[in-house]
Copies of this chain bind each other. A is one copy, B any other.
Amino acid sequence: MATQAQDGVRISNAGEAQRPAPGLALRLVEAAIEQFAQRGFDGASTRDIAAATGTAMSSITYHFGGKQGLYLACADYIAYQIGAVHAAGMAPIRARPPQEPEQARAAMLDLLENFARLMLAPQSETWSQFIAREQQRPTEAFERLYHGIMSPVLETVLGLLKIARPSLDDTGRRTLVMNIVGMALILRLGRACVSRLMRVDDLDEATAETLIAGLRRSAQDLLTETNP
């Protein structure tokens, strides 16, 4: 399926009603995500973040208590924003799980394709880099990101696999889930390797489609009960 519009989701920091122009706190978070994603927690500077937002550095202290608070606010923002978009896409599957292996396979392939497109989309580069950095040294921020984004995907795929490959035990299923979803995850987490292996400077639209098509094929192979 094609990428969903992801400009629509907009949260406000403290349950405020929506604003036409994002509040300062929200603008700070968005600028911070960019900086944290590109330079890491230590590399990012609160001064630069404030400057990019067009405000003073002390605003960060006022709104978030400090650099760490801003960082966690970024994780929450990402988890909520992406989680909301993706949960909507998975809701039908979780509400009415397919009963037939063939249907489960089809649903999983679509879900996987959606997730892979998310991994490849340039628009998601910023927050996905943010998440990728958290993989190495998981902090409290990772918990929020995992439960908001990764866990729904992994658990949904796990549930579908129960239908598609009923003969596997739970451990085998979890391993297989990691193999399948991992093929999509690597498009982001190992992006530098992917682009070099595909011999392109950047993962353009055409290369992305090639990768998606190949991913579907591979996933299909893994979803079919071939061996006893």
Residues of A in contact with B (beta carbons under 8 Å apart): 37-43, 129, 132-138, 142, 146, 150-151, 154, 171-172, 174-179, 182-183, 185-187, 189-194, 196-199, 210-211, 213-215, 217-218, 220-222, 224, 226-227
Most chain B Cβ neighbours within 10 Å, of A133, A154, A182, A213? A182
Does the CB pair B192–A183 fall under 8 Å? Answer: no
**How far does the alpha carbon of A213 sit from the alpha carbon of B187 in the complex, in Å?**
23
A-B contact pairs, 27 of them (CB 8 A): A40-B41, A41-B43, A42-B43, A43-B43, A132-B135, A133-B136, A135-B191, A136-B191, A136-B192, A174-B199, A175-B198, A175-B211, A175-B213, A176-B218, A178-B186, A179-B218, A182-B186, A182-B187, A182-B190, A185-B189, A185-B193, A186-B190, A189-B190, A218-B222, A220-B227, A221-B222, A226-B226
Copies, count? 2
Contact status A137-B182, CB under 8 Å: no
